[in-house]
Amino acid sequence: MPFNQLIGHDRPKAILKASILHDRVAHAYLFHGEEGIGKKLAAILFAQTVNCETPYGDQSPDACGTCRSCLQIEARTHPDFLLIEPDRELANPQIKIEQVRQLEEQIVYRPLVSPWKVYLIDDADRLTQGAANALLKTLEEPAAHSLFLLVSSRPSALPTTVRSRCQNIRFVPPARVQVEAALITQRNLPPDDAHFLSMIAQGRIGLALRTDLAEARKQQHEFSSLTDPATLRSIATILTAAESLHKSDRALEALEWMERWGRDLLLVRLGADPDHLLNRDRLPELQRAAASVQPQLLAEVLEEIQAVERHAGRNLNLQMALEQILLHLRDAVTSTAPAR
Ligand SMILES: [Zn+2]
């Protein structure tokens, strides 16, 4: 896949291409920005671009995607390309010092077949202290023709000494319309489904491309009955739902869908363009519900949900939190005195 097909990230692309064009490729880069937006893919494409065997002529620098070098980097079999990443199967994934040692052993040799020896360190913030120190030594005295690409969604967790040795390039989530377009072309989705998934992913292109559409639609349907004002009128139903969602470990999932629904409801109430709605295909229901919503109360419920999401995992009683939020949501969406 040529570099140009990376969704979004126009600024990083321009910077990286200019560095090749003007022969100013740095020895180390740190690609940082939110998780799942395409940083690692950008690093792989940049590695392909610097080592591509097909001349780009008077076009801008790019990977052809089809030469031996591009294919080997994609298959991770290129002799001058090493991908270092934490073992994600572990509870606390780390990049260990042995992995950096392996890199040190290789780096002393010149590239075997390509102009650059590329070391891609994904989730670089997972380097152990020892590994980071070892890497720092290498970064301080870079071998000619070595190119380090560090990728991180938590750059503040990296030692400042490592960060300052890298050219920092910030990645921002691609625009929703770009994600939507990619879903239509790459997953062959109809526009409505592409819109739906791009709204769920919020710019996380990787997530948008791998989310199970049928499953997401099932959840949308299931939780829409939970937030239906008719359901919320019954306190008994609220308590039962909170209990069973908590027992099946789905409280956070429920909160996420309630938040999406609530946000849409506020937007409809404010007269926003339906294109900004995740549940765009449920516009008539949203309009009906929005007619009796109390915006201030609903905004408070949304804040409450976000607070719970931030603190989940810290000994929080999720069942009780879910009950509270459902009760508050009931107050917000049923403006007339609720019947029991
Ligand atoms: Zn190529």
Residue-wise pLDDT tens digits, 149-192: 999 999 999 999 999 999 999 999 998 889 999 999 989 999 99
User: Which tokens hold the place of 237?
Assistant: 């139903």
Q: Is the pLDDT of residue 267 over 50?
A: yes
Average pLDDT, stretch 99-112? 88
Least confident span in 88-92, 266-270, 297-301: 88-92
pLDDT at position 203: 84
Evaluate if pTM is beyond 0.85.
no
Q: Is the pLDDT of residue 340 over 70?
A: no
Query: In whole angstroms, how far apart are CA 64 and each of 41, 52, 61?
Result: 15, 7, 10
Average pLDDT, stretch 51-71? 91
pLDDT at position 335: 67
Report how far ligand 1's centroid is from the alpha carbon of 55 (Å). 8
pLDDT at position 1: 60
- If pLDDT is split at 50, 70 and 90, which confidence band does 337 have? very low
Report how far ligand 1's centroid is from the alpha carbon of 49 (Å). 7
Comparing 26 with 6, which gets the higher pLDDT? Answer: 26
Asked if 3-171 and 213-333 have one fold, the answer is no
Report how far ligand 1's centroid is from the alpha carbon of 47 (Å). 10
Average pLDDT, stretch 294-317? 89
pLDDT at position 5: 73
Correct CATH for 213-333 of 1.10.1200, 2.40.50, 1.10.3470, 1.20.272: 1.20.272
Report how far ligand 1's centroid is from the alpha carbon of 2 (Å). 8
Report how far ligand 1's centroid is from the alpha carbon of 43 (Å). 15
Average pLDDT, stretch 80-105? 92
pLDDT at position 142: 85
Report how far ligand 1's centroid is from the alpha carbon of 44 (Å). 12
pLDDT tens digits, residue range 123-146? 999 999 999 999 999 999 888 899
Average pLDDT, stretch 84-94? 90
Q: What is d(CA 150, CA 327) in angstroms, rounded to the nearest whole number?
A: 46
Map out the domains of the chain as residue ranges.
3-171, 175-211, 213-333
- If pLDDT is split at 50, 70 and 90, which confidence band does 336 have? low
Correct CATH for 3-171 of 3.40.50.300, 3.10.310.30, 1.10.260.40, 3.40.50.1970: 3.40.50.300
Report how far ligand 1's centroid is from the alpha carbon of 88 (Å). 30
Report how far ligand 1's centroid is from the alpha carbon of 4 (Å). 13
Instruction: Kindly state the percentage of the chain with pLDDT values over 70.
Output: 98
The b/e string for 172-198 (b: 16+ C-beta within 10 A; e otherwise) is ebbebebbbbbbbeeeebeeebbbbbb
